């Protein structure tokens, strides 16, 4: 690594790294819009007002929502043609429903449905929903849902972001009042209540009380106590060989007599604990790689508190990938590294790789991006929570407490998948009285982390809001970095049902780099799609390779023309790594051991 990369100087607008912040910073976060010169007491008054409001709204800005609804309602009011179209649609849907009801009366039971739910909507899949009167109830709901989709979309003049917000909120409200969520209108709940003489509701009440108590006491969900880090999670043997203010670097012990010369460095996201890639022994990606002859290093991020409030993206870059690569160079001098970044860790790796390429540092042999975005212009439904009003609202909340709390982040992610994470759980655990068995991935998901004030503000503004990395404005060391400078081959993985990093957004790495890119699309979501060990049933993937001088193929052509293959993507990736690895050699020595894996920071 060059001297510039080792020192990793901060941009001119970055402050020196503080040991601790005794009080909130008195100036705005870099990248925030310029504020007129008004008294700090006035700014503090505004901020405290927003903080009080944020505690009532789980960090969601009512002002951002109001602006979206005002935009939509005003344009709809001045669109008589659109309103007439909605009246006609309502009439046609009423006629379709009346025809369906008539069929049901004539047949004495079920008729041919007038509307089908979306493929991912499993609420009404049970045959009981096709028996009267529940067939009429759920068909009326789906028709209403479809009408509101028409009402909130394609209103001329409405800003696209506002249209998406209004449509999303309307969908959330309708999902709240779905007939599947109520005892009297859900045939499965009614049947269970009759058969169990109401004991399903008694059990559901117990489940609710237990969950409420755990939430109030800050305890993990029921059943998570069976999974303990260092006992049956994150048990791959290794040593902590580096510790700094932000991360611990774990070097895993070899499991084979010889190993590939080039080690693997995994950079997880700091929004999650690292051990998602080292869960139970049977689905641990780390264990899989070690057993296949790879030397693996893993970064374990510290869970930040108020004392880390002023650490920014440059600090995460300097104390994260740069420090880890320097440590690996000391342990294995002269070795190139296969770098792997997951989610935010992949975005950080992309920035680091672009800087290294700019500065002539050639230590990266390859780059793997797991569900990681480098272009944020189409970052999916998460963008619903990203605009100036919402970010300012969050900044005020973080300014007061020094970080964004896990519960405040969880609310937004749960809304993105409310049917799966909220309402289906309400029906299963509270109305049917059934506890879903806790698995290691669910236990890990409950072990969330916080986000420092400054870093999260910079991340939201510079990457999500301004898209600086993709557009060549992201600065490291006072100069912009460009992904087109990267020459190391790239392996990028997207997942079909990813609500955090939509695969079409991940696919844009093909547009942003001038190097060889292998893109693989796998089944599953942001987490379950990545944790996809060989042998798991139902896994499938599509994979395509593009040389640096090969014409670009758009995402839709890729999906339509690339054959679907069955199985886990892990072996495909490992073969790609092996082709880019050198000879097998004796395992490298372990670095200076500070502690046994999984280290200290994972328990924070």
First to last CA, the chain: 31
- How far are the Cα atoms of 78, 200, 265, 389 from residue 302, in angstroms, in the given order? 53, 42, 17, 29
- The whole-angstrom separation of Cα 536 and Cα 523 is 12
Contact between 604 and 302 under an 8 Å Cβ cutoff? The reply is yes
| Residue 434 DSSP one-character state | -
| Residue 171 CB-half CA count within 13 A | 19
114 is catalytic: no
Distance, in Å, from the CA atom of 482 to the CA atom of 358, rounded to the nearest integer, reads 8
Question: Which phi-psi region, left, alpha or beta, contains residue 77 (left: φ > 0; alpha: ψ -120 to 50)?
Answer: alpha
For residue 342, the cross-strand partners are 370
- DSSP alpha helices (H): ranges in 378-433? 388-401, 406-416, 418, 424-425
Q: Is 105 buried (19+), middle (13-18) or exposed (0-12) by CB count in 10 A?
A: exposed
Q: Three-state DSSP class for 56?
A: helix
Judge whether 522 and 569 are in contact, CB under 8 Å.
yes
Pairing between strand 259-260 and 595-596?
unpaired
Cα distances from 511 to residues 38, 39, 374, 481, in angstroms, run 44, 46, 10, 16
Q: Which residues contact 314 (CB under 8 A, 6 or more apart)?
A: 8, 10, 11, 14, 476
Angle at 541 between CA 539 and CA 542, to 5 degrees: 170
Query: What is the SS3 string spanning 341-352?
Result: EECHHHHHHHHH
- Main-chain dihedrals φ then ψ at residue 393, nearest 5 degrees: -60, -45
Encoded tokens for 188: 């499965």
Strand spans (E) along 431-532: 451-452, 475-476, 479-480, 490-495, 517-522
Query: Strand, helix or coil at 385?
Result: helix
Assign 3-class secondary structure to 282-336.
HHCHHHHHHHCCCCEEEEEECCCCHHHCCCCHHHHHHHHHHHHHHHHHHHCCCCC
Q: Report in angstroms the alpha-carbon separations of 431 from 17, 191, 204, 427, 471.
A: 52, 11, 6, 5, 50
Angle at 505 between CA 502 and CA 507, to 5 degrees: 110
Rounded (10°) angle between helices 187-195 and 199-217: 110
Is residue 448 within 8 A of residue 272, CB to CB? The reply is: yes
> Looking at the DSSP assignment, which residues form a beta bridge with residue 522?
495, 541
Contact in structure between 162 and 154 (CB atoms under 8 Å) = no
CB-CB contact of 483 with 469 (8 Å): yes
Catalytic residues: 343
């Amino acid at each position: 690594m060059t001297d510039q990369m080792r020192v990793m100087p901060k941009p001119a607008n970055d402050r020196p790294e503080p040991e601790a912040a005794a009080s909130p910073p008195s100036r705005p976060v870099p990248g925030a819009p310029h504020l007129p010169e008004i008294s700090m007491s006035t700014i503090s008054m505004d901020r405290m007002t927003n903080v009080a409001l944020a505690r009532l709204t789980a960090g969601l800005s009512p002002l951002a929502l109001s602006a979206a609804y005002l935009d939509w309602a005003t344009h709809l009011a001045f669109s008589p043609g659109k309103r007439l179209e909605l009246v006609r649609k309502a009439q046609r849907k009423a006629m379709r429903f009346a025809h369906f009801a008539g069929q049901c009366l004539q047949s004495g039971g079920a008729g041919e449905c007038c509307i089908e739910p979306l493929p991912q909507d499993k609420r009404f899949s049970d045959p009981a929903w096709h028996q009267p009167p529940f067939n009429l109830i759920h068909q009326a709901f789906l028709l209403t849902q479809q009408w509101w989709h028409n009402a909130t979309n394609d209103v001329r003049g409405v800003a696209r972001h506002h249209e998406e917000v209004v449509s999303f909120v309307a969908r959330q409200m309708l999902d709240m009042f779905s007939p599947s969520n109520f005892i009297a209108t859900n045939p499965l709940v009614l049947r269970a209540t009759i058969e169990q003489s109401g004991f399903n509701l008694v059990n559901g009440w117990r489940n609710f009380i237990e969950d409420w108590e755990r939430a109030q006491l800050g305890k993990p969900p029921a059943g998570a106590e069976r999974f303990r880090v260092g006992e049956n999670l994150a048990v791959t043997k290794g040593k902590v060989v580096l510790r700094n203010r932000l991360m611990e670097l774990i070097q895993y012990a070899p499991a084979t007599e010889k190993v590939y010369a080039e080690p693997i460095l995994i950079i997880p996201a700091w929004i999650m604990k690292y051990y998602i890639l080292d869960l139970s022994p049977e689905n641990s990606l780390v264990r899989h790689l070690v057993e296949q002859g790879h030397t693996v290093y893993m970064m374990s991020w510290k869970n930040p508190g108020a004392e880390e409030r002023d650490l920014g993206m440059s600090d995460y870059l300097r104390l994260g990938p740069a420090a880890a690569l320097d440590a690996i160079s000391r342990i294995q001098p002269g070795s190139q590294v296969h770098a792997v970044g997951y989610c935010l860790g992949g975005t950080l790796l992309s920035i680091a790789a672009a800087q290294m390429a700019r500065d002539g540092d050639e230590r990266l042999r390859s780059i793997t991006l797991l569900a990681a975005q480098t272009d944020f212009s189409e970052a999916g439904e998460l963008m619903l929570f990203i605009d100036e009003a919402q970010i300012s609202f969050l900044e005020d909340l973080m300014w007061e407490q020094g970080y964004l709390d896990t519960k405040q982040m969880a609310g937004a992610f749960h809304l993105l998948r409310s049917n799966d994470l909220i309402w289906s759980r309400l029906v299963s655990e509270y109305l049917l009285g059934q506890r879903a068995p806790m698995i290691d991935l669910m236990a890990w998901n409950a072990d969330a982390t916080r986000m420092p004030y400054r870093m999260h503000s910079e991340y939201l503004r510079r990457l999500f809001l301004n898209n600086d990395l993709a557009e060549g404005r992201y600065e490291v060391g006072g100069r912009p970095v460009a992904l087109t400078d990267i020459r190391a081959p790239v392996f990028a993985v997207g997942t079909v049902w990813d609500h955090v990093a939509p695969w079409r957004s991940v696919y844009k790495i093909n547009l942003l780099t001038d190097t060889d890119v292998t893109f693989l699309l796998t089944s599953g979501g942001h987490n379950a799609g990545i944790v996809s060990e060989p042998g798991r049933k139902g896994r499938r993937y599509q994979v395509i390779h593009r040389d640096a001088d090969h014409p670009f193929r758009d995402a839709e052509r890729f999906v339509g023309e690339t054959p679907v293959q069955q199985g886990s993507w892990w072996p495909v990736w490992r073969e790609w790594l092996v082709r880019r690895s050198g000879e097998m050699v004796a395992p490298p020595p372990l670095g200076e051991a500070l502690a046994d894996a999984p280290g200290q920071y994972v328990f924070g």
